[in-house]
Structure 1
Amino acid sequence: MSLPSRLSRRRLVDASAGGGARANLAATRNEGLVVLLIVTLLVVGRSLVFVIFEHAQFDADQAITGLMAKHIAELRAFPFYAYASDYVLVVEAWLAAPFLALFGTSVAALRLPLVLLNLVTGVLLVTILGRELYLRPVVALIPALFFVAAPPVLAAELLTATGGNVEPFVYVLLLWLTRERPVAFGIIFLVGFMNREFTAYAASALLLVEALQGRLWQIDNLRQKAVVLGVVAVGWLLTGPLRTGADAMGPGTAGMSNPSASNVSVAVGFLCPSLDLSRMGANLTSLVTTQMGTLLGVAPFRLRDVNINSPTRQGGWGLWPVFCLVIAGAACRLAWLAWRPRRQDAQSEPSRPAPWFALYLALIGLQSGVVWAVSRCGPLNSMTLRYGLLAVLLPVAIVALHLALERSVTWRRLMMLFVICWTAISCRAHGDLLAHYLSHSQPDDYRRLSDELVARGIRYVQADYWTAYMIDFLTDERVIATATDYVRVREYDIAVAGHANEAVLLSRRPCPGGEPIGHRYICK
């Protein structure tokens, strides 16, 4: 064969190889777009009820966040921490302010940025899992489904506008991405920690991962950690004037905050001061037998028990033991794959992906669950689930590692089938919830009460905390209500006191001469 012929043939081979690579790249890109569409549909689908139906799960604590967003949008107040609080950076209120300015004061407008944060988290989780564990987009989606297709209880918590339920998921993923960029890492950690102290789980998990990698005490790594500490310290000092000068209790209350308080002191204050091993053991047992099953939507649970206004349920009898058995089996299989002797012939065994990101997620999830269990003075209950939300990352990590490291195609397919079945159970619970609201779309007591007050021309009201701030938000401040037990907006308290002659008291109990209005009584 002549030289030109050989060159021509090589060009053809190179062209065909390049064409194959381009075809594979195009196929991967198309698959990624399909996965992005699936993530969007699932996140939006599990959010529909809580966005469209304002009474699905909304209370005065969330109304305070909405009122902060309204005041920001109207340039009436510029809070740093939540009203009448010295922790929880008001990220949600600032994110929601443009939506309230565009669409008006409503629960839907308040929750739209939370839906976007859920979507961003789902996309980041799938993307990083695929990149770090060498998983195709559709395979990387499987472990991420525990978050993306969250069951009703978890979905409701991730859309609760109380200041920091979904945000820690975003922070822990961003911290992994910026672990080699200390300035960005320090800024994200500072904002995340001031927003919600659970962000600290990411820092401790990353330190342990670096220790296992053998790079924790390397000079370059120590330099990066020094830069991170410097950025956090400088950032804390620079935000000092914002913390002390922000509007602490609504419009016109700049400078009323307590500069001595912080997330650290508040977090320490939440810890149970007594060391009771029997209580800790009982809580850890409850975590494994009940609470994690509730969080993951497989243990039988009434949605009303977490203030979701619906008689429907999620989970079912016997599902949680099966779930535990599968996840525990996968964890044992991973332990065997990690510790068994590896063959010496490197060519006979393909290189395995590094497990560090999955281990990082697992450590965060483990910390979240254990700290939630052992730090509580009383027994664990469903009303404190928000303290352990990051625990859902533990099954995400186990399934992701199983799909990345398991060599048996059969076992990988069975694991994917298992997660798909779990997703179907979660989607069915959401379907039942949506069907209930479509057939029972009457407004709840707070909406009827608010509308009745506006219709009667009542302008100033005193009520308990859980009623007062709901009225303020749902009426768009057309009715000014202040709390008789826990004041969080000083402007309302002053306004009602200044119109005492026309103000009314809303009581949950009958009063002399009281007029019933919904499930309350108008009293003088």
Structure 2
Amino acid sequence: MAKLVERNSPDGRVGNAGETAAGSTAGPGLRKSLACRAAAVVGLAGVLYRAILIAVDVPPANSDEGTAGLAALHIGEGREWPTFFYGQDYMGTFYSYLAAPLVQVFGTHWWALRLPALVLYAVFLVLVFRLTRTLYSSWFAVFVTGVMAFGSDRVVKDQIIGAGGYSDVATAVAGLMLASALLVLRPAKQRTTLVVWGLLAGYIVWTHWLALPYVAAAVLLVAWVGRAGMTIRGVALAVCGFLLGAAPLIVFNLRLDRPNSFSVLLSLSGATEPAAWSDRLHGAVIVGLPLSSGLCAPSRCATWQLWWGPTYLVLLVAATAIAVAALRRADDGECRVHASRLALIAGAAMTLAAYVASSSSAMTPVESARYLHYGMVSLPAVLWPLWVGATALVGRVGSSVSADDGGIRRRVTGRSRSRAFLAAGCVTLAGVLFAGLSIATGQLIVHRSRYAGQADNEQQLVDSLRTTGVGHVYSGYWTCNRLAYRSREQVRCAVLDDDLSPGLDRYRPYRDQVRASARVAYVLPASSAMSDTFARSAPTLGVDVVSRYEVGGYQVYVCHTRRPPAPVVTDR
């Protein structure tokens, strides 16, 4: 087994363990420049691919995106200033504030709502590239950028759907982990970084608590490794940044007439709901990891696409073992690098553990796989053992292979059979990974025509309701706020459950307005339980059906209410 000899760069970084001998002859500056250009090309391809998807309404919008769009519309018109996602007391609405000017200028199109998410994805790529280059090497950072440029259905939904809470928080997590690494590697340049670090941590706490594992990992890293260089002033700067980022959450919970956000979120976490641990592990590892990593078709994983879940765990354990072993024999500068890598691993492990603890992993594994989206920030740490093993095959017997900018230097003195098999296995696995990402991306592209049909149906439905002058409707949760946003509130909708009982109205005033209307429409998916129930129960609902027609996959029942309209309840 060849011996690894590491040497640090002046700023404490440890570089790539597997540059080629030819690459070692080039200057560090040239190699960095080429790597940055390569990453820019790959990243631009990823951004353009998502821009095209946004232009053709892929993936289709959902009601949560409609709710965020309504908030953006109300903010732009100066009518509402929500702290949280409508209808709940957690998940910050900063994304809606970003989208509000675009919605006002371009109208209530889905692409206008998604433009901030596209910009955030580009920033996310830059941050992950910089994080990977800081902790590993430039060409490995290009490799990671290539992995993240692909876009399967689940990954693209999390990255470009304009509902907030995922695209913005993932970018904040990447920025937080980069700031944490810079704080421990470059203690002399702390003031601005500390404020940014605290601001990002506070923003995550306000916006989406599913990313708290990364906040915990960042705090532990900075408190443990960076404690020697930390001053009272530095702590104060970090705290001030945190308070600023979390200010909306803090102010909201100081009001005595509001429920506590923490207790509300715990009640919805599903951790106490019954679900077999075997089902949780299957939903989280076998299904969730391939979906969230971009290796599955739209809304499903074929059996042959499930290999990534166990492989991910093996790579995570290998990355931990490598970092711990290196940490035990490293000097102070190297310790900081390996500790930062361990923080990334800890963030991924805690995110996965939290998902396993939730019953959502067992009950709704396909849709709830989005809860693992923040683990994308840790992909560099997970893929590092694969890169080290794969690049070992590139090295030649007796060649000296050195990383850019003073990274790991490895001298290969012999190639044992086991080492060759391991390296070949890593190369094969890397190839299979890229093939899987390519196939899943292709499956989304092939699925585009079906998604386009859904977008056309939605537009036909909105146009039909506008033409017939129907401004108040009842429909299901996943339809209501899409109609309200796309029609710019010309259609206002109250939510019904499958049994036609009142459902979850994210924007409560709509229910009172629909209930007060003398002319309403029931907009129900064709050939659904809701439509069948309405056909049987219409006489008991206090309405007379005036007309019925089908459009865009929906049965539309236009009705007059028999009871006198109730007064509209308005907020004072």
TM-score (norm 2): 0.70
Contact 1:504 1:523 in 2 (8 A): yes
Q: Which moved more, 1:190-199 or 1:71-80?
A: 71-80
1:275, distance to aligned residue in structure 2 (A): 9.1
Q: Kindly provide the amino acid, as one letter, of the partner of residue 175 in structure 2.
A: L
Matches within 5 A, 1:283-362: 283-298=280-295, 303-304=298-299, 316-321=302-307, 324-325=310-311, 328=314, 331-332=317-318, 335=321, 339=325, 354-362=337-345
1:192, distance to aligned residue in structure 2 (A): 1.5
1:453, distance to aligned residue in structure 2 (A): 0.9
Aligned counterpart for 1:371 among listed residues 349, 354, 367: 354
Aligned counterpart for 1:430 among listed residues 422, 426, 441: 441
Post-superposition Cα deviations, 1:365-415, rounded to whole Å, max 9, x if no partner, equal 111111111132772521211222223444431223554699835477874
Matches within 5 A, 1:108-257: 108-133=111-136, 135-136=137-138, 138-179=139-180, 180=183, 181-210=193-222, 213=225, 218=228, 220=230, 224-225=234-235, 228-229=238-239, 232=242
Alpha-carbon distance in structure 2 between the residues aligned to 1:271 and 1:114: 26
Sort the Cα spacing of 1:161 and 1:244 in 2 relative to 1 into closer, same or farther, 3 A: farther
Contact 2:218 2:343 in 1 (8 A): yes
Matches within 5 A, 1:54-73: 54=57, 56-73=59-76
Sort the Cα spacing of 1:76 and 1:420 in 2 relative to 1 into closer, same or farther, 3 A: farther
1:178, distance to aligned residue in structure 2 (A): 3.3
Q: Kindly provide the amino acid, as one letter, of the partner of residue 521 in structure 1.
A: V
Alpha-carbon distance in structure 2 between the residues aligned to 1:407 and 1:439: 41
Q: Does 1:77 align with 2:80?
A: yes
Contact 1:362 1:394 in 2 (8 A): yes
Alpha-carbon distance in structure 2 between the residues aligned to 1:231 and 1:43: 30
1:323, distance to aligned residue in structure 2 (A): 7.1
Count of aligned pairs:
471
Alpha-carbon distance in structure 2 between the residues aligned to 1:431 and 1:407: 28
Alpha-carbon distance in structure 2 between the residues aligned to 1:205 and 1:351: 19
1:125, distance to aligned residue in structure 2 (A): 0.4
Matches within 5 A, 1:391-402: 391-400=375-384
SS in structure 1 of the partner of residue 83 of structure 2: coil
Post-superposition Cα deviations, 1:69-114, rounded to whole Å, max 9, x if no partner, equal 1222222322221122211110211111122223221111111111
Contact 2:320 2:345 in 1 (8 A): no
- Counterpart of 1:520 in structure 2 is 555
Contact 1:284 1:374 in 2 (8 A): no
Sort the Cα spacing of 1:96 and 1:36 in 2 relative to 1 into closer, same or farther, 3 A: same
SS in structure 1 of the partner of residue 91 of structure 2: coil
Post-superposition Cα deviations, 1:258-301, rounded to whole Å, max 9, x if no partner, equal 53322x2233223446497x833541244222321232344xx5
Sort the Cα spacing of 1:64 and 1:365 in 2 relative to 1 into closer, same or farther, 3 A: same
1:239, distance to aligned residue in structure 2 (A): 6.4
SS in structure 2 of the partner of residue 178 of structure 1: helix
Q: Kindly provide the amino acid, as one letter, of the partner of residue 427 in structure 1.
A: S
Alpha-carbon distance in structure 2 between the residues aligned to 1:280 and 1:102: 49
Contact 2:133 2:141 in 1 (8 A): yes
Q: Does 1:386 align with 2:403?
A: no
Sort the Cα spacing of 1:212 and 1:296 in 2 relative to 1 into closer, same or farther, 3 A: same
1:243, distance to aligned residue in structure 2 (A): 7.3
1:361, distance to aligned residue in structure 2 (A): 1.7
Sort the Cα spacing of 1:439 and 1:171 in 2 relative to 1 into closer, same or farther, 3 A: closer
Q: Which moved more, 1:159-168 or 1:351-360?
A: 351-360
Q: What runs of 5+ residues in structure 1 fail to find an aligned partner?
A: 1-19, 246-256, 306-314
Q: Kindly provide the amino acid, as one letter, of the partner of residue 517 in structure 1.
A: E
Matches within 5 A, 1:372-521: 372-376=355-359, 379-380=362-363, 381-400=365-384, 403=387, 408-410=392-394, 415=426, 418-438=429-449, 441-442=452-453, 443-484=455-496, 485=502, 486-497=504-515, 500-507=517-524, 508=531, 509-510=534-535, 511=538, 513=545, 514-518=547-551, 519-521=554-556
Q: Does 1:48 align with 2:31?
A: no
Contact 2:199 2:241 in 1 (8 A): yes
Post-superposition Cα deviations, 1:155-182, rounded to whole Å, max 9, x if no partner, equal 2223333331122322222223434443
Sort the Cα spacing of 1:192 and 1:416 in 2 relative to 1 into closer, same or farther, 3 A: farther
SS in structure 2 of the partner of residue 503 of structure 1: strand
Sort the Cα spacing of 1:440 and 1:97 in 2 relative to 1 into closer, same or farther, 3 A: closer
Sort the Cα spacing of 1:438 and 1:483 in 2 relative to 1 into closer, same or farther, 3 A: closer
SS in structure 2 of the partner of residue 288 of structure 1: helix
SS in structure 2 of the partner of residue 128 of structure 1: helix
Q: Kindly provide the amino acid, as one letter, of the partner of residue 90 in structure 2.
A: Y
Post-superposition Cα deviations, 1:399-438, rounded to whole Å, max 9, x if no partner, equal 2355469983547787466435423432333233323435
Q: Kindly provide the amino acid, as one letter, of the partner of residue 169 in structure 1.
A: A
SS in structure 1 of the partner of residue 108 of structure 2: coil
Sort the Cα spacing of 1:406 and 1:210 in 2 relative to 1 into closer, same or farther, 3 A: farther
Alpha-carbon distance in structure 2 between the residues aligned to 1:440 and 1:82: 26
Q: Kindly provide the amino acid, as one letter, of the partner of residue 287 in structure 1.
A: A
Q: Kindly provide the amino acid, as one letter, of the partner of residue 213 in structure 2.
A: Y
- Counterpart of 2:19 in structure 1 is none
- Counterpart of 1:312 in structure 2 is none
